[in-house]
Structures are given as C-alpha cells and as structure tokens.
Structure 1
C-alpha cells in the first residue's frame, strides 16, 4: 500500500511539473505579426469627415462608472450582456449583481460572460451570484473554466470588459466590476476609463454591431462553458438581500430606472471602430499592437497610457518605429505608486531598453494608481479599452479597444494626460530627469527595496506571463 501511495505521489508531482512547464514555456513561443491582418487594416476606414450615428461619453470617475452601469441596467427592457474579467461579490460588485437581479426579475434576458479563473476564485462561493444565475432568463458563460482538461491552457484569459443593453448602447473600457474600480471608495482603488457609446439610429451603429458580432462569436467558442438557470427556493435569502441593496441604490441614485438623457449627455464622434486580439483560448497574433502600429504610421505625436510596460523584442521594435518619426510619450505608474508589483519590477529590469526606443517616459505619481489603457494619435484619434502594453495582453489574452475619431474626446483625454504628466517624473533616454509641477516624490523604504530586489530575480524567466 505504501509503495502504491508513493508511486501515485510521484506520478502526481510529475504531472504537476509538466503542467507548470507547459504553462510557463508555451507562451515563450510568440506568434509573429499577421501580414494578412495588416492588409485588412489598410482596407479599413478609421476616420470620417462627418459625424456618425454613435455618440460617446468618457467616464474616468469610479462613482460615475458605477452610476452609468446602474442606469444602463436599470433602464434595460429586453436584453443585457455583461462580459467581465473580474466580477466580485464585494460591496460594489454586489450592487451590480443586485441591479441585474432586478432586471432578471422583470423578465430581461441576461447573458453573463466571465473569465474562468476569476469566476472560480471570486464567484463560485457567492450565494448572490448563484441566485442571479438561477433565473431561467439568465445564462452564464465561463471562458476557459478551471477544469482538469484545461490545466494546460490556464494562461489564456478573457480580459474583455463591456456591457451591452437592448442592442442600443454599450460601455467598454478597462474597468473590472469590483470595489477597486467602482463606487466611492477611497482606499485600495485604481483609476480607469470607460467609453459609453449610444446609438442614435435604429441599429446602424457600426461599432455596436461589431461588438455584438464579437460577443456572439466568443459566446459560441468551444472554450466557453454555458450554464442556464433553474430557480430554487434555497436562494430566497439571497434574492431578499439583493432586493434590499437595490432599494438602497434607488434612494441614493434616484434616476437609475428613469434616466433618458443619453443623447444630451454624450458628444458626437465621427467614427468608432472596434479592434480585438482574437477570441480563442490559445496563443494570439498581436493584432491590437499591429493596429496601433498601423494607425501611428503617419503620426507626429503619440501618447501611450498604460499601467506598466512589459515588452519583448517585437514590441520594442514597434515603439522604436513610432519614435523614429513621431514624438512618443509613455505615461505609466511610478514604481513607488503602482499597484501591480510584477509590472513595477519588470520596469526596474527593463527601464534602459524602454528608454532606448526613443520614448519619453513619465513615471506617474498620481493619488491612486492608474489602470487606464489608451493611445492618443495626433489630436484626433483615441484608442481606448483593455489592452495593456505587455506580453500577456499582446499574445495570451482576449482584448478589446475602440478606435475613436473625435477631436472633442481627444482634447478631453489630452487634458487628463497633461495633468498626469505634471504629476510625473519625465525620464529621457540620455538619463535626464525632470519633475513635473505637481510631482510629489516618494522614497521606497528598505523593506520595499528588498521586496523588489528579490522579485527582480524571480520574474526574469516569467515575464511572458505577467
């Protein structure tokens, strides 16, 4: 018996070792850029000289981000699609669940699409989520669920974040659905950006149609496990709990079921185009980065806002190519302020290579870490969404970005970036450093320095996974 147990233990350990090696080594073999995709970009019109039928609103404030979601869900009459990387049953995540619960109770069809790992970590034990999922008009899709069969591809995540309501409007950006990104919390939060898109026509909104088409395709992917609800009396307490939360939301935000000023509170956009990184749970071609490279070919000025930078050779070449003909500025969280230790550590290791691309780097010391992902191209195009300038977003995860032709939006985001730059330390390739007018430095204590010193060694063979 002991021999059998010992042998079984060895086999199990060998299996785990193989799983780890496959997941660590496979992402090292990155797919090359797709020349056919570049050809398709050259046939795509990203700009227009006249206003389109889709209007936009840029949402940078966390509490406003919650309110807009509640308004969209609260006024939904027919259908809701929520696709999210990280939905949690915390304070504000449960507010979203409560609003969805009310919509489900009044008969709205709801489809939830959630990343497999975070669904297992944060929702599997939530009675509120299970109660919502039990409605017959609610379907839950789990992207690449955590199962023994999928152990060799756990790296492939769904990083999309969007909400579609009544085939009339959608909200898309970089925010996850939890306390870190939503509500009026003041501790442990990140700043981020969403774009609300409202279609003023009867189904002629180009980007809305593109997003709906994208959702239908990913929903049908073999890596998505779909579960249909079946109501049960065992969720009575959870239903009551969510109803109480929703009543409190109605008292705090009294227009979430009656709001109608969608057109009034949005601005014109000439054209909006959705780009994505592929939908399969497998290695991706770098489509989003290829699009950014294409869009910046004739640019004079490019600003990249990203929480952190983790690049391989091809990605550095893209940055170098941009800076060869344009002023390239990269705004990222300073190590002293960043909320992602992996990204901060890789920056310490790779800072010289980043600067050698010719980019001016702004190490941002904002009040809160900034999770925003955006690219500004001259004074007209804004690219906003979920894509981080790292290898994971480039080669492993699903990602969505909106290419928006709107001078008003570009100006609005440029003003935000100018404020961020004033709160930053500008670092040039020649070693020159300049502190912005609003920069407030912070010195890492000995414990933090030791922490990052250890991580700088540990992460070197794992950069492709961070």
Structure 2
C-alpha cells in the first residue's frame, strides 16, 4: 500500500516536471536529457533536476522586489548614461547596443583604466586606494579567504572606521565557505557591515547551492573602482603547494564608469541584505573625465532576462576581423560559443586560446580538454601555460576592444553565476593586453592537432565522462 502511494506520487511529480520542461522551452536535447535522467535514475533524477535543471532565468527565482525606491534608482541609473551615438560608436555599435539592451548600461568615455597583472600589483594598488578613502569602501567577493591579506584589510578597516569611513562587504556563501565566524565577528565589532550571499540554509538548499555570486568589486568613494578575476586570497601572492602562483588580471577604474559598478553593488546589497540605503539617487554625482578610455559594464546572473555576458563574448568573437585572443582557465563553451570560435578560425581569423596546463579540478581539466579536438581541427590555436595557474578572464580583438572581468567561458558563468565584466573600447589598452597575451603564449605549450588526436584512449574516455558534468562545473 505504502509502495503504491509512493510510486503514484513519484509518477505524478515526474509528469509535473515533464510539463514544466515543455513549458520552459528548453532545447530538445536538454529536455530529452532531463527526461532520461528522471525516468532512469530513481529519486536521484528528480533531485538533480530540482537542483540543476530548473530555468532560473525564466522563473526569476532571485528576482528583485521592485519597490518604488528600487524602480526610481534603476530609472535614474539608466537616465544617467549618455545616449548611444551610432556615428560616434559606429565600429562597435552592435556590441554596445547589445550590452545596453541586455545589461542596461551604455558606454562611458573619459575613463582612466589601469591593467593590473597578478596579485602583487593588484593588491598594492588596492591598498593604496583604500588608504585614501574618505567616505566609504564597498567590497564584493566570491572568495574572501583568511590570511595575510585579510589581516591587513582588517587593520586598515579598523583605522578607516575610526575616521568615519563606512565599510560594507558581500561575500559568497560557497566561495568563502571557510571564512570563520571569528573573523566575521571581528569585522562586525569594529563597525563593518558584512553579509553572506545566498548562504546554505535548510529548505533552500536546492534553490541556492548552484547559484553563486562570482563578482569581484571594490568601490571607493564612488571615485575609484576595481574589478577582474582576482579574489582576496594569499595564493595570489604566495601560490599554493599544488599549482604554484595564481596568474590573473584585474582592473583599476577611475572616471564616470565607476557609477556603473556602484549600481551593480548597490542592487546586490539590496538583494542580499534587504537594505535600500544605497539605492539613493544622490549617489549619481558627475565624475569628471580623467582619461581617454571608453568603458561599458556588462553583468548577468540567474535573475537576468538575457545571458548578457555570453552574448557579449559571442559578439566580440563574431565581429572580429583580424584576431581574437582569449585567456581563460575554464573554457567549457557550449554550442554557441564553440561554433563562434570555429567559424571565426575557419574564416581566417587568428583565434587563440590561452589556458592553464595545471588545473584546480581534475574533472574540470578533462571537461575543458574535451573541446580541444574540435577547436584544433577548425584551426584554433591553443596554448597551455605551465608556470603556475592561469586564472585570467580576458578577451582582446583587433587592437580595438577588450574584456576583463570575472566571467569564465562556461555554462556556470553564463547561466548560474552573478558575473561582471568591463568592456574597454581603447586601442592603447587593447594593444597592451594583446602584447601581454603574446608574451604568455611564447612561454606556453602550443598544441598540435595531428599529435593531439593520437592521445591515449583513456584520456578520451575521461574527457567524455567529465563532459557529462559540464552544467555544474
């Protein structure tokens, strides 16, 4: 009797999920894969679907509560931007319009953009800027890991709060899982406001475990900002025993573009703290022009209407006329980006990918390599950096447009994580980024298609198995 009831409920739940799959309009292959999992893996198939398969973008699980204050703030943020001029931005008009229509941010001219390579240069610049803070310091990080850096930040925060500087921190509940309660209490005791992004809680485990805040943002007095791939972790300075020094790229931004990163932080702060103190239109002071770079912010997450960052990567690759160089540790591209890379290479564009020969995950390593054969066959050049661990997330094309930020070229960054990238429309910056990329290529291993296809069958098997887990990597 009990068995019959359980079986009936299971079948009913399965039918309900089938209807949801059909209504959500998933790709046929993805729908069939979930149907197969549900009906061939008892209980586990439904569990996996509830954790990984639901369409967060369509269902708006993490949708902001649009109070009048939130609505007014977003309206003011959009109005704060200069209208897009097709004549002025004719070279990148399609990309600029795409981002403006999906992320609601237009480009800002008049910015100073400093490329910061690796941990030492990045944290030297960050600490110098923090020391000069007069009003507020806002930080948002995926990994906030205790060590020398966090000890230094604590000492600096303590002094700044005594001087009347307001400090707010958002840290991710999974990326910063090992951040101790003791350290958090120390921050709170000196007056730091700190909130965990989507903590693991009973009853909400399935709805939050796979959706993380991967952004790295610092805003200081709305005058200077930092973003990029570098987390708060000593491994960027000391390395770790297995991978060595972590190599990464970060940005220091000054000028009008700082307001856009502030808006991203302010909405994240409201989402996770339920406090609307930052949603104040008075924050939109006019920052003077301090440089020659035009910058545009693109951000996305499971609450976005569109996969904005994936679309921006696709557009940069698709619009390249001479070359597109990509440095990224996690290239698990999905069919659209994979096709864009192959089409570009087959069309005569110089397409190069720079990845780490080492990996912080064996499953990710084999999944990434499962795409190599098809890319190499199409003429994409793939370089593997063996010195330490490459963690950069950069794209540069045609000496004209660059992207530096937090997003990997994988399904997690495109669909599941909160991410943010800065798109820089500046020739000098693009050339500097390109030259740095080529230097790293010169000390890396260039893969050869004819050699790679002869790799052991065991490697091919590992690649195939790892690829199954690509949606959750």
Residue 269 of structure 1: how far off its partner (Å): 3.5
CA-to-aligned-CA distance 1:320-365 (integer Å, 9 cap, x gap): 343344221111112xx23342331113333223334542211222
1:313-352 equivalence runs, <5 A = 313-325=335-347, 326-334=349-357, 337-352=358-373
Task: Report the Cα distance in structure 2 between the residues aligned to 1:214 and 1:279, rounded to whole angstroms.
Answer: 14
Aligned to 1:191: 247
Aligned to 1:139: 193
Aligned to 2:300: 277
Aligned to 1:157: 212
- Which moved further from structure 2: 38-47 or 79-88? 38-47
Task: Report the Cα distance in structure 2 between the residues aligned to 1:284 and 1:463, rounded to whole angstroms.
Answer: 22
Aligned to 2:50: 22
Residue 307 of structure 1: how far off its partner (Å): 0.9
Task: Report the Cα distance in structure 1 between the residues aligned to 2:429 and 2:296, rounded to whole angstroms.
Answer: 15
Question: Secondary structure at the residue paired with 2:154?
Answer: helix
1:42-57 equivalence runs, <5 A = 52-57=109-114
Pairs aligned (count): 379
Does residue 431 in structure 1 map to residue 431 in structure 2?
no
Does residue 422 in structure 1 map to residue 442 in structure 2?
yes
- Unpaired segments of 5 or more residues in structure 1? 1-6, 8-13, 32-36, 200-204, 229-262, 434-443
CA-to-aligned-CA distance 1:119-177 (integer Å, 9 cap, x gap): 4x222x242332112344x3223221211232112101000001110110001100010
Aligned to 1:251: none
Does residue 355 in structure 1 map to residue 376 in structure 2?
yes
Contact 1:139 1:226 (8 Å CA) reproduced:
no
Does residue 95 in structure 1 map to residue 118 in structure 2?
no
CA-to-aligned-CA distance 1:227-267 (integer Å, 9 cap, x gap): 99xxxxxxxxxxxxxxxxxxxxxxxxxxxxxxxxxx9xxx9
CA-to-aligned-CA distance 1:411-452 (integer Å, 9 cap, x gap): 222221111111222235x5268xxxxxxxxxx9x9xx99x7
Does residue 216 in structure 1 map to residue 266 in structure 2?
yes
CA-to-aligned-CA distance 1:33-70 (integer Å, 9 cap, x gap): xxxx989428789889xxx4321211113122221121
> Taking structure 1 as reference, are residues 310 and 295 closer, same or farther at Cα in structure 2, changes over 3 Å only?
closer
CA-to-aligned-CA distance 1:9-29 (integer Å, 9 cap, x gap): xxxxx9988544522444799
Question: Secondary structure at the residue paired with 2:450?
Answer: coil
1:63-82 equivalence runs, <5 A = 63-82=120-139
Aligned to 2:412: 392
Does residue 381 in structure 1 map to residue 404 in structure 2?
no
Residue 454 of structure 1: how far off its partner (Å): 8.5
Aligned to 2:169: 112
> Taking structure 1 as reference, are residues 195 and 141 closer, same or farther at Cα in structure 2, changes over 3 Å only?
same
Aligned to 1:235: none
Does residue 299 in structure 1 map to residue 321 in structure 2?
yes
Aligned to 2:221: 166
> Taking structure 1 as reference, are residues 375 and 147 closer, same or farther at Cα in structure 2, changes over 3 Å only?
same
> Taking structure 1 as reference, are residues 68 and 129 closer, same or farther at Cα in structure 2, changes over 3 Å only?
farther
> Taking structure 1 as reference, are residues 147 and 309 closer, same or farther at Cα in structure 2, changes over 3 Å only?
same
Aligned to 2:85: none
Task: Report the Cα distance in structure 2 between the residues aligned to 1:279 and 1:103, rounded to whole angstroms.
Answer: 35
**Superposition RMSD on alpha carbons, in Å?**
3.6
Task: Report the Cα distance in structure 2 between the residues aligned to 1:341 and 1:144, rounded to whole angstroms.
Answer: 26
Residue 77 of structure 1: how far off its partner (Å): 0.9
Contact 1:269 1:405 (8 Å CA) reproduced:
no
Aligned to 1:231: none
CA-to-aligned-CA distance 1:197-256 (integer Å, 9 cap, x gap): 122xxxxx1x211111122222222xx14699xxxxxxxxxxxxxxxxxxxxxxxxxxxx
Contact 2:96 2:107 (8 Å CA) reproduced:
no
Residue 318 of structure 1: how far off its partner (Å): 2.5
Contact 1:46 1:405 (8 Å CA) reproduced:
no
Task: Report the Cα distance in structure 2 between the residues aligned to 1:109 and 1:85, rounded to whole angstroms.
Answer: 21
